[in-house]
Structure 1
């Protein structure tokens, strides 16, 4: 290990340890690496610009963020919830099912777990806790758990980022996320049913079937968005980046023209918030480009590959170990940092072991999403605490059972890769 890489690691962990944002920590550490390695410090900026110019797909990130923010401000969320209540609210634990189904639908529009939790989450938690139907902790916990589905079903911002660092097809990644997302929704609904019977939660009054067509028609334009996105990408009409632009435009047209639920003032705030969120992600992405250059310069992936080959590690054991590592890191790091900073180290190893990069990418994203609800630093727990005022103690006491069922679903995906690869292969993926 070279002297400059030691300086880099000490600086990186030192800055991160005192609370410096990860992106800034990487960039500052990288500048020291170049300085002590007698290299031009301007190389740091060059690597950021090269990475950004070569990654047209990255434009999808701010566009999907903007689309999610527009939908949260408009009445799209309310219409979707009314549709979900009419469809599944009649069953035992109905509002819990509504929570999960709403996340499944909303995930096909935003690609963001935080947008799901902050948007639909705040409203549905209020409905669940009204008149003591459900305990506050349970309502918050199932909301956080269902929000993890957001980045699994396309569109998905984490999958866009994984595509950038792995060169895997974003189109096939999006397809590969559909079945795992549905499985996650299914296990959450099964657990919700079991708990609802055990605790005797209130069964909601069924919406008459005669009203279902009217409720569906009010939500239908919003329900069309996932179909438009998927047709555009897999019908060969648009690239994923163009589809993201269409999603943002479609959300804007729905809220401003069709539903007339957004003002110029609120639109300005949406753009400001979207720019801030995109910039925060962009700083981490820029740091990741420099970090990848350093990792390759130090031949760290090659050393890891030789080490694992020397240990004769099987692909399945490697996947299990990496998923345990990602799960542990998810307790302290956000998904963007894990995907952009940690995962690139293992891409060459996956290739050497013959592990499919689409399968690996979906596993990493699913695992990173579970990390968003894992104490002590699961960001979704803090988001829901901030928007509802429900204490972290109440949320954490109820979240463990949902973490367990999601880990069960993840285990199935690890052991049976065909669950993830079936749909891409139906559309011509050769592996």
Structure 2
């Protein structure tokens, strides 16, 4: 318990000193190890645990999906998704806001990255919304909040991370489980955006003829088809998640170079370098977080926390409410990948003791921590949205409030209704 407390204390001190989160995780774990053994064995043990944390065939899917996302971004997918959404729903009240939500949700799902969705969709939609008379903070807020939905709708890198942290949960089951919460959250954001747009009197786009609306959809079909092929292939057993990620890279490359013809071969090295940089950051976070999770388990702190939570009440909904509050706070300070790796071994035993399946709990965990990505003070996606929208984070807080409320309402339904997450995995025999 003492080593666990040392780890937690050093970690929060380093975070308060603005030490990068990956280094804060690694150094705090090393400090806890040094408290129980000499320095040389401590560093060796830390290195071994970090390497062991990456020694997983399942994790190989992450760099492939990251590369696929960058290829999609460079290959003109964002603009085609925006055009399709605009043609179908642009004439609704607050139509451009709804288009931004749908486009961000679709691009986030095909790219697997909330940051990429915010950057790609925001660079198109925020200027268009400002030109039509929308306030810049609201335009940036809509894109920012919707981009996190791609983490709930597969293929999602964070679902793969959770599957590894939870110890053998089916990635296919998690992918299927994400559709219900993801689509519900998207619907909630659309309703909130329409209400705000009507209240503020934002303009409505001109309705396109039916034939023209349908025509805008066809260029986006190859991009959306990747979701069907990847998830369908995993669910049907045609290929594993890792094989699906490799297929996604080839598919994205063909789409950008030969179908859309918006990416030249000379652009490929730059795309690969960006992908490698992102992959390096993500895998370092996974390695450091795996070491911390092992150290926490060794200290007995997760078991103590789980036992303490179970003594508070035997009401599952009350404990889930408490877990949601804890995760929302954690998400505001920690990036989603290390948060999943650290808190899954702490909270999953509590959830299982309450009769909650690992798949349902995974959706609750990912949903909470995704909201944290657009929550100050450390919300990565929030800062990217402010930069893309050329506005300040402080100016975005007020227009974000109704969007936060919409996401929290969807989270509450996801938490209280297990069938929302479990229906599809059970239907396909994956639970």
TM-score between the two structures when normalised by the length of structure 2: 0.94
The aligned runs of 1:10-409 (5 Å cut-off) are 10-38=9-37, 40-41=41-42, 42-53=44-55, 55-132=56-133, 134-167=134-167, 168-409=169-410
Deviation at 1:154, TM superposition (A): 0.5
Q: 1:140 and 1:166 mapped to 2: Cα distance?
A: 34
Deviation at 1:306, TM superposition (A): 2.9
| Contact 2:332–2:372, Cα closer than 8 Å, also in 1 | yes
Deviation at 1:264, TM superposition (A): 3.5
| Contact 2:102–2:186, Cα closer than 8 Å, also in 1 | yes
Deviation at 1:213, TM superposition (A): 4.1
| Structure-2 change in CA distance of 1:307 and 1:263 (3 Å) | same
| Structure-2 change in CA distance of 1:199 and 1:31 (3 Å) | closer
Q: Which moved more, 1:250-259 or 1:100-109?
A: 100-109
Q: 2:311 and 2:81 mapped to 1: Cα distance?
A: 53
Q: 1:301 and 1:331 mapped to 2: Cα distance?
A: 21
| Structure-2 change in CA distance of 1:241 and 1:24 (3 Å) | same
Deviation at 1:233, TM superposition (A): 0.8
The secondary structure found in structure 2 opposite 1:148 is: helix
Deviation at 1:292, TM superposition (A): 2.0
Deviation at 1:302, TM superposition (A): 2.5
| Structure-2 change in CA distance of 1:10 and 1:266 (3 Å) | same
Q: 1:383 and 1:309 mapped to 2: Cα distance?
A: 39
Q: 1:413 and 1:376 mapped to 2: Cα distance?
A: 25
Q: Deviations over 1:14-70 (max 9, x none)?
A: 2222111222222223333333312622111111222222x2111122212111112
Q: 2:307 and 2:205 mapped to 1: Cα distance?
A: 59
| Contact 1:366–1:410, Cα closer than 8 Å, also in 2 | yes
| Contact 1:359–1:421, Cα closer than 8 Å, also in 2 | yes
Q: 1:366 and 1:166 mapped to 2: Cα distance?
A: 16
| Structure-2 change in CA distance of 1:344 and 1:21 (3 Å) | farther
Q: 2:219 and 2:338 mapped to 1: Cα distance?
A: 39
Q: 2:214 and 2:309 mapped to 1: Cα distance?
A: 58
Q: 2:214 and 2:399 mapped to 1: Cα distance?
A: 36
Deviation at 1:116, TM superposition (A): 0.8
Deviation at 1:251, TM superposition (A): 0.9
Deviation at 1:172, TM superposition (A): 0.7
Paired residues in the alignment total 427
| Contact 2:371–2:407, Cα closer than 8 Å, also in 1 | yes
The secondary structure found in structure 1 opposite 2:152 is: coil
| Structure-2 change in CA distance of 1:177 and 1:6 (3 Å) | closer
Q: 2:232 and 2:22 mapped to 1: Cα distance?
A: 35
| Structure-2 change in CA distance of 1:38 and 1:409 (3 Å) | same
The secondary structure found in structure 1 opposite 2:178 is: helix
Q: Which moved more, 1:298-307 or 1:406-415?
A: 298-307
| Contact 2:67–2:249, Cα closer than 8 Å, also in 1 | yes
Q: 2:295 and 2:332 mapped to 1: Cα distance?
A: 26
- Runs of 4 or more, structure 1, over 6 Å off, are none
Q: Which moved more, 1:221-230 or 1:301-310?
A: 301-310
Q: Which moved more, 1:304-313 or 1:23-32?
A: 304-313
| Contact 1:175–1:424, Cα closer than 8 Å, also in 2 | yes
| Structure-2 change in CA distance of 1:291 and 1:82 (3 Å) | same
Give unpaired runs (5+ residues) of structure 2.
none
Q: 1:20 and 1:57 mapped to 2: Cα distance?
A: 29
